[in-house]
Structure 1
C-alpha cells in the first residue's frame, strides 16, 4: 500500500509539473497566434496603400504627359508670338519712316498751295486728267511758262521734244525683255529735262492726259498700261524724295524708307476708294542707273499720286472685267443640270449621269478658259506677278462668295448629288491653279475654303454618326455655327436617301447660336470685298531689279538729236 501511495504521489507530482509546464507554455501560444493575425492585417493594409500609390503614380504620369504636351503647344505659340512681335516692330519702323516722308511731301504741298491760287492751279491739274483731248490749252500753258518764269521756262525746241515724246508714248511701244519701254522712256526724259525739280510745269499733266486718252476698256490695253504705270512708279520712287524726306536715313535703313501716297480725290472720275499706297526704296534705289536722289517739287509729287490712282483704277477694271466674264457661268456651276424622266427611260442611269457631269464640267471648263485667257494677257504684258496673284486671289474670293451664298440660299443645291457635281468642278479649278504655278496663282485656291468645306459636308457619308466637335474640327473648321446649321438643316439626299446630322447635333447647334446671340437670318452669308488689296510698297518688294541703260528708243525719236541721251551707252574698255 505504501508503495502504491508513493507511486501515486510521484504521479501527482509529475502531473503537477506537467500542468505547470502546460500553464507556462499556454500564454506563449496565444501570443504567437495574436502576432500572426496582426501581421496579416498589416500586409493587407500595405497592399491597399501600394495599390493607391500605383493609381496616384499613373494619374501623375498622365498629368505629366499632358503638361508636357501643353508645354510644347505653349512653346510653339510663344515662338509664333515672338515672330509676330518682330514683324510688328518692323512694320512700325517702316510706318514711322513712311509718315516722316508723308509729312515732308505734305509740307511741300502746303508751301505750294500758299504761293499759288488754289482754284486756278490745283483744280486745273485735277481737270487736266479728264479734259477733252483736243483742248488747245495744253501747248498754250507751256508757252505761258516762258513768259511767267523765264529762268525755268521751256524753249521752243524743248516744247517740240515734249510733243514728240507724247506722240511716241501714245503708241504701243511694247517691251524690252520684261521691261515696258514707254515707262522707261518717260522716266529717262523727265530725268534728263530736270522736270522733277521745277516748281511749275505742265509736262506731268500732259503725260497723264496722254495715258488717260490711250486707256480703253480692253484687257490687252489695260494690262499694257498697268505694267507701264507700276514700273514708272517704281522708277520715280527710286529717284524722287521730298525735301528733307531722307535726311538722317543711312544705308541700313534705306530698305524700309518709303513715300506714303495719299488718295486721289478728284483727279479720276469713277476711281475706286484709294488705299494708302506706298513704294519702298529697297535695294532698287541703287540699281537705277546709279542716279542720286532728286528733291522733287510739288508737280512731281502730284504726278506720283496721279500714277498711283491709275494703277488702282486699271487694276480694278481688269479684275472687274474678269468677274463679268465668269459671272454668267457661276450660276450654272452651283446646281447640277436636271435630267428628265424621258431621258432616264431612253438610256442607262450610268450613261445619263456621265452626260450630266460632262455638262456641268463644261461650265467649269468655261471658267478655266477665262482664267487662262486673262493670265496669258497679264503675262504677255509683263504685269508684275504680285499684281497677277492679287487679281486671281480676289477672283477666287468672288467665286467662293457667289457659290457659297447660292448654296446656302437654295435648298435644291444642298443635295448629295449636287455636291458631287460641284466637287468635280472645283477639281478643274484646282488643276488650273497647279498649271498656273504659285508665281501667278499664289494662294488663290485657299480663297475657296468655304465652298470646298461645304461641298465636303454634302458628300461625306454617315452624317448621323458625326458629332458636332468632329464636324467643326475635322470637316468644316472654317464654317461658322450659323453656316453649319443652315447647311445641315437644308441637306437632302436625292441619290441614296441618307439623312443629315443627328437631332442632338442640331440641338447643340441651336444652343451655340443662342449663346453667341447670332440668330440673324442672314448671318451665314459672305460679303465680297472689292477694295484694293495691296500697296505699292508690296509691289516694290516683289518686282525685279530694273536696268534701263540698254533700252532702245522707239523709231519715232531714235534719229532726233534731242533724244540722243536715250541711246544705249557704249562702255569703254
Structure 2
C-alpha cells in the first residue's frame, strides 16, 4: 500500500500493472479518492489514490548509484533505478551499506582488471562507483583499523551471480593482502586456484544456472599483523550427492565427468573412458555439451590449478581414476540372477564395465560384483548372506557411486586446506560466504529442504544485523527515530529445527525407527504434529507431500526419499572392499572404522550434522562485522539485456532489500563513538581543541561548524544519515590538503 500523498493534476505517478509490475503515467483528473491516469503505454485508467506512488520528475537519466539518494524511496522507484542502470551496464548499486549486484549474463572484463583494483584501493564506500572491490576494501580497512574480524555474505537465488561475485572479492583481498612475487607459491595464489578445482567437482548445470554451485562454501582468510594473508581455511556444506547418479534434461552432472571424457587422448586411454554420451550417469540428460564451456580446455585448466594448490601428479591421476570408476559403475546394469530374487550383471557390456571399474578402483572384480548384488546381514546369532534383486542392486550401485564421489570431494577440500595451511597466530580474518540460494522446483526433496533451511538462517542473520541491531542501538542510545516493523522468520526456523518436535527432529526419529517408519508414516506424523501451524500445510491432492511457508514463498516438499537421504552410512561391503584397495588413494578414502563404530548400528543423521555445521557457521559470522552483497537474477532465460520486473521485484522482496532500503534511509547507517568522532573530525572545528569542552559539546560544535542536518547525538555516539560520513571525510581531506600546502610553503621559506 502506498503512503498517503497529495496528488495534483499533472503529477507523475506509478501505478500497478499486471504485465510489468509498475508502469508510469500522468494524473489527468482527480475525483475524490480516485485518480484518472494517462499511462506511458497510452492506456488511460482510473485507480485509487492509495494504491499510487509518486514518480520523481527529475529522476536522473542514468539513475543513482545509491538507492538512499532517490527522491522517492518506493518500490517502483527502486525497480526503475535498477533497470535504468542495468541497461547501461551499471550492474552494481548500493542501498546504504548493502551492495546489489544484477547479473549481466555477459563478460565485462574491464570492471575487474588490475587497474580497477588499484582505483578502489583505499577509496571510501561511495567515493567510486558501487563494486564488490569497494565492499572488499571496506572489510579489509575495517579489519586493519579496528582489529575486528569481518565477513562478507554473498546471497541470492541460483543463477544470480554469487560465485562470480565471490571470485571478485577473493581476487581483491588477495591483491590487498598478497606478498611479493619472490616469496614463493603464496597462500593467496592457492586460495584463488582452489576455485577452479572445487568448481570442477562441485558445480553443475541446472535449470536455473549453467554453473551452479551444488555445495556451500565459506572461505576464511587469515591475516598477520601487517595485513598480509597468512593462512586460510575452506569449509564446505552439503554437496548434492544425488546428482552423481540422477540427472535429467536440461541439467548436467558435475563438470569433472565431462572434462575427463574430453581429456587428451593419452588420458582417455589411461583412465579408460570414452564419449560422455556412452555413460548412463551422463546420458540420462540430453545436455552433454554446454555453450560457453570448453570441456577439453577446462580439463587442462583444472589440472594446472591442482598443481598450484599442491595436488601431486600421482594424486591427480588417482583422482581421475576414481572419477572414471564412478562413470563405469553407472553402466553396470543388472538382470535377474539364477536364484530367486537375486541379480547379476545383465550382459557382456555390463560385465565389461564391472571389470574396468574394478581395475580403476584396484579391487577384486568378484568382490565388487558381490558388494553390489549381495548384502551381509549380521543378527545376534548368525551372519546371513542376502541376495538383492535387480532393483535393490541398482540402488546399491548408486549408493556406492554417491559415497565414493562424496569422499573424493571431501578429500579435495581437506587437501587444499592442508596445502594452504592455517596461521595459529592470526588475530584477524575475513570470511567470504558463497552458499546456494533459495530453491523451489517442481520436485523438492531433502536437498532443497536443507538448502532452504540455510537461507532461512541467513535471512535471520540479515534481519538481525540490518534491522534488529539498528533498532536496539537507537533505543539504547535514546535517540528519536521511527520504528519500522519487518517480517521475522523465527517461527519458520522453530518449525524446522526446534528440539524436540521440529521437522528435523521428527525425521531423525523416523530414521532411527526404520524399518517400522517409512516416508509415508513420516509424512503422517508431520500432518498430525503441525496441522495448526501457520507456516505448515498439506497440499490437497498429495498423499506424502508437505508445504512450508518460507520467507521467500511457499515450497512443497516430496517426502519420498527423505528418510534415505538423511541416513549417513556406508554399506559394510563397500567399506570392506574399498578399504582393501591396492590403490593407496582409494583405500585412504575408506579408512578402517573403529571397532565400536563398525559394530554399532546407531543411525547417523545428515540433517543433524548439517544443522551443527550451520550453527558453527553462524557463530563465526556473529563474531564478525558483516557486509552484504545481494545478487539478483534479472531473467530466467540466463540471457543478457533482459530485465524482468516481476522476477527482480520478487527477489528484492524475498531478500529483505526493500526493508533494508527503508531503514537505511529512515535510520542512521553510520555511527561513531564520541572520542573516535572527535579524533577523526576535530580538525574541522578549531574550538574543539579547548580541553574544558566535554565530548558531547565537542561533537555538536563540529557538526554545527560543517552545517550538517538530520544527524543525532546519542548517549555515547554520533549518528549520521546515509552519505554524511562521506561528506565529513571530504571536508577533512580538504582541510588536511590546505594544511599540508601551508607547511610546505613555510618549509620552503627557510
TM-score, length-scaled by structure 1 = 0.23
| Structure with a larger share of its residues in strand | 2
Larger Rg: 1
TM-score, length-scaled by structure 2 = 0.18
